[in-house]
Structure 1
Amino acid sequence: MIIGIDIGGTTTDIVGFKEGKIIRPLTIKANDPITSAAGALGKYTDQNKFKLSDIKTIGITGVGSSYIESGILGIPVQKVDEFISIGYGGKFLSGINKAIVVSMGTGTAIVQVDDGNISHWGGSGVGGGTLIGLAKKILNTTDIEIITGKAKKGSVGKVDLTVGDIMDGSINTLPSTVTASNFGKSLDDASENDFAIAIINLVCQTIGIIAISAARATNNNDIVLTGKLAILPQAKAI
């Protein structure tokens, strides 16, 4: 069995790979990199009912991997460049050999994949950390279930300014419903639910625009989205 651990800025993710199959991943909050990696491995082995001796090697990546020098719980580790991990991971999971792969984590990283060639295209400081930070100040919560639950009942039109709000009709190819300014309206009667969907909208729209720009600049027809933000209930619609 091979274990992969991504020690990020706010969470640590772990996944197993055995006999060509992925074993259900696990996420824990990351405070101290070494402690979170060891804790994730211990919890993962316990939940999936296998022994440490079953693990052949551990691949580690992410910003926190630099703090781990030898091994985790006595098992040797192999450090893997984060952008290489993003590229090959997106390629493997999607089955697409040429694409822009977007890692929607605490921040956002964008990688170009062209068969075996992986290159870092760019990124943004806007990501999951932005969503949680804004929600903490505006909604007084960092619980993603609460945030998305509120967002389901909210109206982004009470917070975001659209093209239709500032002119009569569309602008060339831009429909009137397109966002002209995130948070640019923010009506006095806008509720927490409205701000919840507006926060998600801001983050996902920003990442989406950057990803599309990257795809156009590199002549890619496919974009692969990875990370927890990609599976938010509202993300697909945005």
Structure 2
Amino acid sequence: MNIGIDAGGTLIKVAYMKNDLLEFEKFPIADLEQVASWINGLDNIKICTTGGKATFLKSLLSQKAEQIVEFEATSSGVRYLLATCGITEESYILTNVGTGTSIHHINKSEQQRVGGTGVGGGTMMGLSQLLTGITDYDSIVPLAAKGIRDRIDLKVSQIYKGTVPPIPGDLTASNFGNVDPMVSRTDLEKEELLASVIGMVGETVATVSVLAAGQYGVSSVVFIGSSFIRNEFLKEVVQSYTRLRGANPIFLENGEYSGAIGALLHVSK
């Protein structure tokens, strides 16, 4: 059996073939030693690792493992998923929203990292904890989806009230810029605060992605990453903001496993 492993800053993603079907597993990075023990118990396998914790993972394995650069693995996995979905984009921006956000330009033959931002899933989790005390991802996401951002975020239309704004009024003029000085944090609902955090992350990610798309003359942005897992609210923010700014957003099913898929493809050659 061939196994591809993407050991990142937050999660360990695993891809392998079973009965000719592509299977996935994911584990928190805290379980790295347990994952290594599981792999060490398997026979007749070939392994390829990628990601920031790949070297450490390899040190825990009793079997020899190959290792490839994360960006190469991810772009290879994305090409595979696009082809599987019948999407024929040849040149596009790839935005990987994990703990942070990494942005790449991909065409038929190569990938190039063009930038990124420290705003990503780590920002979402850290600010959510600081503002609400909630640390669990599966609690943060559904609460945020119920929140209304009007008391916290300032829109362009609010600044240009009574006149036609020079840019779309639905754009956020200032994240967290509409908080009344007389309002304390305890006066705001947790849902409002969490919605504004995820809104800021999504809008930042979409904005830098669209700017990169304009720089490279492409119209589509492919979004992947663990921050989108069961997070329809973040997807909606990114999708609407990307379209509002004139680009075409594409979300791939199982996109968070792109690095693991790319590692699997490498070891399966």
TM-score range (shorter-chain normalised) is 0.7 to 0.9
Q: Which moved more, 1:198-207 or 1:10-19?
A: 10-19
Structure 2 distance, partners of 1:206, 1:192, is: 21
Unmatched tracts of structure 2, length 5 or more: 84-88, 238-269
Structure 2 distance, partners of 1:123, 1:101, is: 11
- 1:200 match: 198
- 1:30 match: 29
Alignment of 1:83-232 (within 5 A): 83-95=71-83, 96-168=89-161, 169-172=163-166, 174-187=167-180, 188=183, 189-231=187-229, 232=231
Residue type of the alignment partner of 1:65: A
Using CA pairs below 8 Å that are at least 6 residues apart, which structure has the higher relative contact order? 2
TM superposition shift of 1:64:
1.2
Task: List, as ranges, runs of 4+ consecutive aligned residues in structure 1 with deviation greater than 4 Å.
Answer: 68-71
More helix by share: 2
The answer (yes or no) to whether the contact 2:7–2:57 under 8 Å persists in 1 is no
Unmatched tracts of structure 1, length 5 or more: 46-50
Structure 2 distance, partners of 1:106, 1:124, is: 10
Residue type of the alignment partner of 1:52: L
TM-score, length basis structure 2: 0.76
Structure 2 distance, partners of 1:200, 1:221, is: 24
SS of equivalent residue, structure 2 residue 94: strand
- 2:261 match: none
Residue type of the alignment partner of 2:193: F
Identical counterparts, % of pairs: 28
Structure 2 distance, partners of 1:41, 1:54, is: 15
Asked if residue 63 in structure 1 is aligned to residue 52 in structure 2, the reply is: yes
Structure 2 distance, partners of 1:121, 1:190, is: 38
Residue type of the alignment partner of 2:207: I
Structure 2 distance, partners of 1:207, 1:236, is: 11
TM superposition shift of 1:160:
0.6
**Residues paired across the two proteins, number:** 225
More strand by share: 1
- 2:7 match: 7
TM superposition shift of 1:19:
6.5
